[in-house]
Amino acid sequence: MKDARVVRALGTMSGTSLDGVDAAILLTDGEAISGFGDTAYRPYTAKERATLTAALGKWPGDDGVNAAAEVVEAAHAEVMTRFEGVQIAGFHGQTLAHDPRGRGTHQAGDGQVLAQALGVPVVWNFRSADVRLGGQGAPLAPFFHFACARFIGAEAPVAFVNLGGVGNLTWVDPSRPAPEAEGALLAFDTGPANAPLNDLMQARRGLGCDRNGELAAQGIVDEGVIAALMDHPFFFRVPPKSLDRNAFADLLARVAHLPDADAAATLTAAAASAVARGLEHCPEPPERLLVTGGGRLNPLMMEMLIERAGVTAVQVEEVGLNGDMLEAQAFAFLAVRVARGLPTSCPGTTGVAAAVGGGEISRPLR
Ligand SMILES: Nc1ncnc2c1ncn2[C@@H]1O[C@H](COP(=O)(O)OP(=O)(O)OP(=O)(O)O)[C@@H](O)[C@H]1O
Ligand SMILES: CC(=O)N[C@H]1[C@@H]2OC[C@@H](O2)[C@@H](O)[C@@H]1O[C@H](C)C(=O)O
């Protein structure tokens, strides 16, 4: 019999690299994955990206934030209305600032605007409740990673590693009864991933990224820079812990003395070493790393990850998942959980005191 609680949910993510909006359909009851559906990607135009970049680090009420929110809402409305038969949507928005122990967390874009555009309930503002209750507000994909681990039939602990602008890691023990169960999940940001490398490529070569690790492959890693980076207090902090995109902005200065290729190689190694260090915080070594996010497409970053972490790493595609859309699918999953009153974070994922359901539901007004 078809489970009446399984819905066709649409999720979206606009990541820290400000490239565009990912959108994906997930069939789920908020506990298990029943199937994957269509996906779409809507890049930001250069003008839109400039508006978003100008608002980075800003808080509601600051100059430029309304303009950024309008860009986010318009781009999402455009891509989200392409899908048919959507019953509920999860809208992450664009993180402009994240300071969980200070001013909070700020995702631009209003879910009510999208509820109007789509004509279905939209769940949004996923991170604020967790932060208010003392959590990091991030990462939130781990509850979905738990469902993914079950979906792929993993029996031993595995780790999902997302190599986006920032890196993050979710250690999952799929034998536990639920994601919020004691010992089921440990998740945290590992450190810088592509953001500093992209910034370097922009500054030195006028390029958006080191495509396929081509420049870095010609360079030599400065292990002194890596060792000094690994002395940063962030790497000693016991997880859960999360990072602002610009938290390691000084990394560029640390490679300023190096030729382009060596600087790129060093920043690529930094992403890998940060994940390797993160693994030391895990309760036991994972069977393997399932890598998602754009960094999985950089063969040198993958090679360095395997070498520095000392464990096999594969792209999530090897286990039948979609590494470009996992985060969008995660927010579809989380939307259904919020609608059902199920938790979306717990002590092991954000450091919040007890399992908590975040998110606000906006329904279309007639
Ligand atoms: N073929 C490739 N070669 C090298 N790097 C790549 C390649 N494809 C993508 N990337 C890197 O991945 C980045 C995009 O990753 P992703 O889409 O996972 O980021 P994001 O979702 O915006 O970040 P976050 O997960 O931190 O929010 C690009 O900016 C680039 O640095
Ligand atoms: C505050 C914020 O938007 N954080 C993002 C960012 O991008 C990667 C990493 O930093 C992660 O903590 C998070 O996103 C993913 C989707 C998450 O919440 O799981």
In the chain, what are the domain boundaries? 7-137+328-362, 153-319
CATH T-level fold of 153-319: Nucleotidyltransferase; domain 5 (3.30.420)
**Ligand 1: centre distance to CA 263 (Å):** 18
Distances (CA, A) of 197 to 188, 194, 215, 257, 281: 21, 5, 11, 15, 25
- Neighbour-count burial for 304-335, b at 16+ CB within 10 Å, e otherwise: bbbebbebebeebeebebebbbbbbbbbbbbb
Task: List the beta bridge partners of residue 159.
Answer: 171, 289
* CA 209 to ligand 1: nearest atom: 31
pLDDT confidence bin for 16, thresholds 50/70/90: confident
Q: What is the pLDDT of residues 17-53, one digit of tens each?
A: 899 999 999 999 999 999 999 999 999 999 999 999 9
Report if pTM > 0.80: yes
For the chain, report the end-to-end CA distance as a whole number of angstroms: 34
One fold for both 7-137+328-362 and 153-319? Answer: yes
DSSP one-letter string for 44-78? PPHHHHHHHHHHTT--TTSTTHHHHHHHHHHHHHH
CA gap 98, 257 in Å, rounded: 30
Its CATH class, for the domain covering 7-137+328-362, is alpha beta
> What pLDDT sits at residue 178?
98
Q: What average pLDDT is seen over the chain?
A: 96
Q: With CA atoms as reference, report the closest residue to 38 among 327, 340, 341, 325.
A: 325
pLDDT confidence bin for 243, thresholds 50/70/90: confident
pLDDT confidence bin for 181, thresholds 50/70/90: very high
> What pLDDT sits at residue 10?
99
**Ligand 1: centre distance to CA 295 (Å):** 5
> What pLDDT sits at residue 1?
54
118 is in an annotated binding site: no
Distances (CA, A) of 216 to 127, 219, 299: 35, 5, 10
Give the DSSP H/E element, type plus range, for residue 36.
strand 33-43
Residue 8 pLDDT > 90? yes
Q: What is the pLDDT of residues 318-348, one digit of tens each?
A: 999 999 999 999 999 999 999 999 999 999 9
